[in-house]
Structure 1
Amino acid sequence: MDSFITIRFKRKTAKRFQEFSKTHFKTHTEAMSTILDFFFYNEISPKEKLGPTGRTIEAKLLKRINAVIAIVRDVEKTQTKPTVAMIQSLFQTEEPIKKPLILEKKYAEEKKEVRFREKQKPSNQL
């Protein structure tokens, strides 16, 4: 049987370790051994940051997705819709509706005047 040794920790740190150890391991020794093995095998220091967290990665992905959506909308607005409209206008078989010509105002006013009148016979010649 292995012998035990006493290590001094501050009370707050010891309580945190005990709670962690109870939730994840059977014994405190197994917990400490696993923690030390993790740092040894992965060749990292407990003081190092492991990189971005899940939240920061998610936020960056959402920003990029929003940027892609904006690009797609811009392409649709500036390229796709006008191109589709041009192609549809090329393949239309209907003849355009002929609209009457718009006359200028001065010509329209002149036409209101009667240019020729019938001669009326005097009433006493009947």
Structure 2
Amino acid sequence: MDSFITIRFKRATAKRFQEFSKTHFKSHTEAMATMLDFFFYNEISPREKLGPTGRTIEAKLLKRINAVIAIMRDMEKTQTKPTVAMIESLFQTEEPNKKPLILEKKFMEKKKEVRFKEKGNPNNEL
């Protein structure tokens, strides 16, 4: 069995460490060894800042996502919907009013005239 050594900490720091150790590890020794290994293997100092935290990164991403959504909505209102409406209007076909051509009117009027009459029937009408 390994022997123990006493290290002196301020009371507030010792309480914080004990609470942390109880929630995450089986013993205080295991907690301290794991923390030391973490700093050793990652070659960082406990005094260094690791950069933005997960919360700040998430907040920034949400802001950017909201900005992208706003840009897309604006594009839809100003570009996509008017373009779609113009294209739909091009493809909508209405049947034009059928007006007889001028030549057809003359031809129809000529047809009404009887060109040939029977000799025996004086009231020959169509």
Q: TM-score scaled by structure 1?
A: 0.70
2:66 is matched with: 66
Question: Which segments of structure 1 move beyond 6 Å, counting only runs of 4 or more?
Answer: none
Match of residue 2 from structure 2: 2
Name 1:107's counterpart in structure 2: none
Unpaired stretches in structure 1, ≥5 consecutive residues: 97-126
RMSD between superposed Cα atoms in Å: 1.8
2:23 aligns to what? Answer: 23
In structure 2, give the amino acid aligned to 1:55.
Answer: R
* 2:28 partner letter: H
Q: Which moved more, 1:40-49 or 1:23-32?
A: 23-32
Q: What residue ranges of structure 2 are gaps of 5+ in the alignment?
A: 97-126
TM-score (structure 2 length as normaliser) = 0.70
Q: Which structure exhibits the higher relative contact order, with contacts defined as CA atoms closer than 8 Å and separated by 6 or more residues?
A: 2
Q: Percent identity?
A: 92
Residue 2 of structure 1, CA deviation: 2.0
Task: State the aligned residue count.
Answer: 97
State how far apart, in whole Å, the 1-side matches of 2:10 and 2:61 are: 41
How far apart, CA to CA, are the structure 2 residues paired with 1:86 and 1:37? 67
